[in-house]
């Protein structure tokens, strides 16, 4: 989106200067960017459902150094989700969430002192819940089955692409997740994927796992960094099987993390 704005400004300048060749040259990347952005604003056709179960999920990368626990707790109470998935959860955060676990008694967590602890809290009982690790760094994901194993939810947080080995590890984790999705199942992958929707690795995940981006019809939905809307990009995602409909999707307020929360209501 930021590139589109920059190119649009450049195009206006070129047109005002009557520099037609430059204007024509600038139009090409604008057209390409539009092909990447416009589909996100086109609503997806919903599928017909038999059971029509509804579920509200909240994902939030808490930022391990964030100590504004009460602000988050208040937000959870206001949104009242059925399932909460959290990234960067350490022991301090987990202890602070003790009260929350009264309302969300079913949980699975892998607490770490680095930025890759993860937790899933639910009002709905798990049929199964497991910590799944892949790669030499042992970055954990959570796989949970619910509703008599009719729904599979993955909570995940791959490494950020800060350097080459991290990028390779992230890409392998996305591939790993794609291979774990059972064909024909109701699957949700939710988390900070540390990649943008126009990344080829993100697109491969959608294709290989036969999932779709829940942002479809809801626009950009940028979530990081929280402190600067001008450079904010969508890296916190919720991917769904075609058998799952989105009822609503939104980005939440600043909760003193570097990420904004994602709240999504689905039906299947």
Using DSSP bridges, classify how beta strands 83-87 and 106-110 pair: parallel, antiparallel or unpaired. unpaired
What confidence category does residue 246 fall into, taking pLDDT thresholds of 50, 70 and 90? very high
**68: pLDDT strictly greater than 90:** yes
Give me the pLDDT at residue 28, please.
Answer: 75
Among the residue ranges 38-42, 87-91, 98-102, the one predicted with the least confidence is 38-42
Alpha-carbon span 223 to 260, nearest angstrom: 5
Average pLDDT value over all residues in the chain: 92
CA distances from 64 to 38, 114, 163 (A): 35, 8, 21
Give me the pLDDT at residue 12, please.
Answer: 77
CATH architecture of 47-267: 4-Layer Sandwich (3.60)
**54: pLDDT strictly greater than 70:** yes
Taking CA 169 as the corner, what is the angle to CA 221 and CA 116, rounded to the nearest 5 degrees? 65
Write out pLDDT tens, residues 5-20: 666 666 676 666 777 7
Write out pLDDT tens, residues 114-165: 999 999 999 999 999 999 998 666 799 999 999 999 999 999 999 999 999 9
Write out pLDDT tens, residues 181-228: 999 999 999 999 999 999 999 999 999 999 999 999 999 999 999 999
H-only helix segments in 17-153: 20-37, 69-79, 91-96, 100-103
**45: pLDDT strictly greater than 60:** yes
The reported pTM is: 0.91
Residues 185 and 241 sit within 8 Å (Cβ to Cβ): yes
Give me the pLDDT at residue 241, please.
Answer: 98
Percent of residues, the chain, with pLDDT higher than 90: 81
**4: pLDDT strictly greater than 60:** no
Instruction: List the chain domain ranges.
Output: 2-40, 47-267
Write out pLDDT tens, residues 254-266: 999 999 999 999 9
Alpha-carbon span 189 to 167, nearest angstrom: 19
Percent of residues, the chain, with pLDDT higher than 70: 90
Sign of CA dihedral 84, 171, 31, 20: positive
Which contacts qualify for 159-162: CB closer than 8 Å, 24 or more apart? 159/116, 159/194, 160/194, 161/194, 161/195
How many other CB atoms sit within 10 Å of the CB of residue 92?
15
What confidence category does residue 30 fall into, taking pLDDT thresholds of 50, 70 and 90? low
**56: pLDDT strictly greater than 80:** yes
**36: pLDDT strictly greater than 80:** no
């Amino acid at each position: 989106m930021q590139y589109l704005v920059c190119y649009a400004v450049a195009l206006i300048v070129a047109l005002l200067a009557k520099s037609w060749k430059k204007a024509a040259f600038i139009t090409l990347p604008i057209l390409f960017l539009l092909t990447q952005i416009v589909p996100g604003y086109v609503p997806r056709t919903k599928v017909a459902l038999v059971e029509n179960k509804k579920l509200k999920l909240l994902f939030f990368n808490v930022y391990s150094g964030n100590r504004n626990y009460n602000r988050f707790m208040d937000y959870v109470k206001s949104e009242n989700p059925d399932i909460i998935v959290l990234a960067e959860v350490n022991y301090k955060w987990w202890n602070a969430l003790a009260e929350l676990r009264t309302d969300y008694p079913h949980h699975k967590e892998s607490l770490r002192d680095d930025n890759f602890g993860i937790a899933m809290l639910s009002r709905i009982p798990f049929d199964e819940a497991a910590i799944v690790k892949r790669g030499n760094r042992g970055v954990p994901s959570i796989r949970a089955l619910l509703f008599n194993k009719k729904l599979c939810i993955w909570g995940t947080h791959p490494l950020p692409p800060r350097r080459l080995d991290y990028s390779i590890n992230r890409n392998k984790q996305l591939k790993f997740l794609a291979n774990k999705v059972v064909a024909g199942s109701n699957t949700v992958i939710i988390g900070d994927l540390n990649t943008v929707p126009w990344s080829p690795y993100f697109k491969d995940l959608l294709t290989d796992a036969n999932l779709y981006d829940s942002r479809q019809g809801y626009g950009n939905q940028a979530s990081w960094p929280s402190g600067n809307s001008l450079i904010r990009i969508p890296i916190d995602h919720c991917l769904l099987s075609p058998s799952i409909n989105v009822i609503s999707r939104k980005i939440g307020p600043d909760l003193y993390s570097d990420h904004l929360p994602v709240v999504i209501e689905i039906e299947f």
